[in-house]
Structure 1
Amino acid sequence: MTGTADESEWAKPLGKKAFLPWLFALTGDTFHMALGDMPLPWLAGLGELAFVALYGTAVFTALDERWRRTLLPPAALACLVAVTFALNIGYLDHWQMCFPLLSIAIGVVLRDRGRAMATTLGTLGITSGSLWFLRPEDASTGSVLAVAWGTALGGVVAASALNLREAVRKLRDTREQLARAAVERERLRFSRDLHDLLGHTMSVIVVKAEAVRRLGPKNLEAALGQAADIEAVGRQALTEIREAVTGYREGSLTTELDNARSLLDASGIAAGIRQSGPPLPPQTGALLGWVIREGVTNVVRHSGASRCDIEVRGEPDRVHLEITDNGRGVGSSGGDGNGLKGLTERLAAAGGSLTSGPDGRRGFRLVAELPVDDEEVRAA
């Protein structure tokens, strides 16, 4: 909790008034001016008022996103430079603390322009340092070093603090975006899995229920066998849904080919299944299993075919899957369908491809190609 709270505080932008307390550095010279210890105190007062107004304008506008990219902050900064040197040249033994404050204003205004800020601070250091040769001889060496050190570090510290907070804010926003993207990907994965699982399972149950209805009056034993298959399919579907919810489901290509044969046979569709080539990595086989499940389900639901052929042809670096039927040339209930669209995205993410469409004058053809690279498929 503490770490999160600290990080949240760092992610908040600094308020516009964050740099105003540094103006108390001018308190000493203000007292001298009020006591009449410097010539023309009214002129010094006007100079101090101009300095404070320009300092506030430069800092406020540079911290306001509406004004940050306009000409107002650099214009106020340029006027602040002029007032600072006018006060220091006119009152050689007063107003030295204007230089550290000017350095802070430079860091705030030019914080995202590193080269310009470094050049400006360097020039300020050189020109302000040259003024020390004009100071009275009794000027304190300690105060000279303190002012010089403050001038050198003021702008760097101010720019670093602002840039650090900006970086923390961007990192937090990026992390939140990644978290939202991960949630969206998981939702998409779950919706795809649920669509594929329930679509296939309900098709099997409907087909076998129709078989029970047809066989019941004629062959009670065969009807009971189909009913037992419905029970087995239902239990298997429950297991697969639980696995899909937890994200650990990995289908088997051999299992899906067996399930495809069973579903086609129960639907009265002749099945021709051929598999060749070397054994496939588990993840590659699992992804092809999803394609077979969706393709065969669409054949049973929409094609009106009497025959369906499934060919899996493995090569050293790629595997080719083709599902064809002799039906009406319709692969789904609506063009590509949500299932085929989801599978196309899955295979594309794994470096593969999925194409589908009518096969000549009659029938429908579904072709999937996938690299035989288990790491790439697992990452996708």
Structure 2
Amino acid sequence: MRRPGAWWRGKSTPAKVETYTRWSLQSFGLVEIFWLGPLAFGEVPAALAWTLLLALCAHAVLGAVTTSKALDWTRGRREQPVRLVIAYGVATAVISVGTLGVMLRVPADEEAGTRTALVLFVGILMVGAGCATPGLRTRRRVIGAALGASLGAGAASVPSGLPAPAALITAATVLFTTAIFALTAGFSVWLLNAVHELDEARETRARLAVAEERLRFGRDLHDVMGRNLAVIALKSELAVQLTRRGRPEAVDQMTEVQRIAQESQKEVREVVRGYREADLSAELAGAQGVLTAAGISCDVAGPAAGLPGPVQSALGWVVREATTNVLRHGDARRCDIGVRVGPDAVVLSVENDGAKAPGALSGGSGLAGLRERLAEVDGTLEAGVVADADGVFRVVAEVPLAGRTVGPRRDAAYERSAG
């Protein structure tokens, strides 16, 4: 059974921001229903008050739908809901002006009814501006909508029976409140888009790092194989020509081709071996630099020098894969990497917060590949969400040192780490 809030922790940072933005903007409708709705009761007959409440509920629902579709448009999931935004704007104008006219003409108390009418009038326009803003393409249109609402409010107030000074104050109030709500909604949409762009930039940076490594490997192979293949092609062509002429030197040329091919095969193996082997100290420094650049606090503790080459290579790949998981999954703010070298084994642990729901990372192909690499040096790997910690993911790799030569710094380093 999932614990309360697990669905929230399972979301990525952009998904969390989008959910929060939707809830915030759609809460405008709740303000309209539960704050503005009850104001009419006691000021007009009950039947008319209920009619106004139902109109406000319909307006709130239409505003929530408009906001939802507009946010989908800003995220590129649908076309701009132009007709829906226009329909919502018309509904806002009709309901606000209608409410103002009714409340000014059928009040139980004239003074109290006027105050209530103005609050309802300004409140409906204010909520309408907040819900319609995400569906407008530019700031110019948002500003134009706020100014239009203000001028329309002033123009509608005079025929409704308000004196000119009161109509002017009403227009200024509408301009201020609609501008505030429009600014709030517009900033929320901007923040949502900015978070998505930052997340996409992080993904792009990870893909570029992979592409750069592939290019480096390709350059190394080209440097190794380019000249040798050219020589092989030249000598093979020469051997063909000598063979056609019946010259015995063709055998010498083919022997040379064989030698160069064997040397090329050896050099390719060395390049691949160098690519597959990872230096643990370099990987730890690289992981700390990459995570820090991504805004994740990273602490590295423990010795990395003096370990056998195969052990360093296997643990270096653990650091690479764990760092990739921290960057690509969850919403980490902290990552701790520790190396503890004992008399019989070396233990590497990578622990980060902000992990997704339990089980989200423990079965990936990357971790399966790490288990295969560690198995070559008789090592083991454990990975998963820590049971007694909220959202903490831990990777622990252990490699035995029995029968392997370890540098002289191992014992002193172990004493420091153990102490």
TM-score, structure 2 as length reference: 0.42
Highest CA radius of gyration, 1 or 2?
Answer: 1
